[in-house]
Amino acid sequence: MDQTTPPVTVQRPLLLTILCGLSIVFSIWNFAGGVRSAFTKDPELQVRMAREKLDASIAQMNKDVRLGGVVRILQSAVVMAERSAIHAEPLGYSAMALSLVSLAGVLLMWRLRRIGFWVYLTSSIAGLAIPIWLLGAGVATMFAMGIGGLFSVAFIILYAVNLKHMR
């Protein structure tokens, strides 16, 4: 008699399933944003209109000396928006590429492959570094990247907790 043991199937933890699902949705969303950024010229027009409104607001705020810090933050936001418009294509292309890399990492983790974590980690770090490199390290850029970075770090930690279930 042939006594072969049946293959052991590993169950994916619920947390990992939820994380992968959310990451897939976010990757698709980020890819769509990259397409919009890379292939449209709307950002330049929007920045020009926002700059005009902001200049009027800053002129009004400059009358109040106590709002100097707010004015500097708003000016930093305008600089970030202008640089975003200038670098819209490279930002869009990098967002599309990193979304696909991130998606590949997530799909590998879905299949319980440990290498997917490292692929995801690399794309997450690049996704934070490239905008800072292109937009500069101004207050508004660092604030925006900090918020995105919090989500990235949270997901990385939660994926790292599930590494023990991956091979």
Separation between Cα atoms, residue 101 and residue 122, nearest integer Å: 9
Segment 73-93, tens digit of pLDDT: 777 877 888 888 888 899 999
Q: For residue 26, count CB atoms less than 10 angstroms from its CB and return exposed for 0-12, middle for 13-18, buried for 19 or more.
A: middle
**CA separation for the pair 35, 24 (Å, rounded):** 17
Structure tokens at 109: 């983790």
Q: What is the pTM of this model?
A: 0.81
- Dihedral, CA of residue 51, residue 55, residue 56 and residue 61, to nearest 10: 140
Task: Tell me the per-residue pLDDT of 34-57, one tens digit each, with 9 for 90 and over.
Answer: 999 888 877 667 677 777 777 777
Each residue's pLDDT tens digit, 95-148? 999 999 999 999 999 999 999 999 999 999 999 999 999 998 888 888 888 888
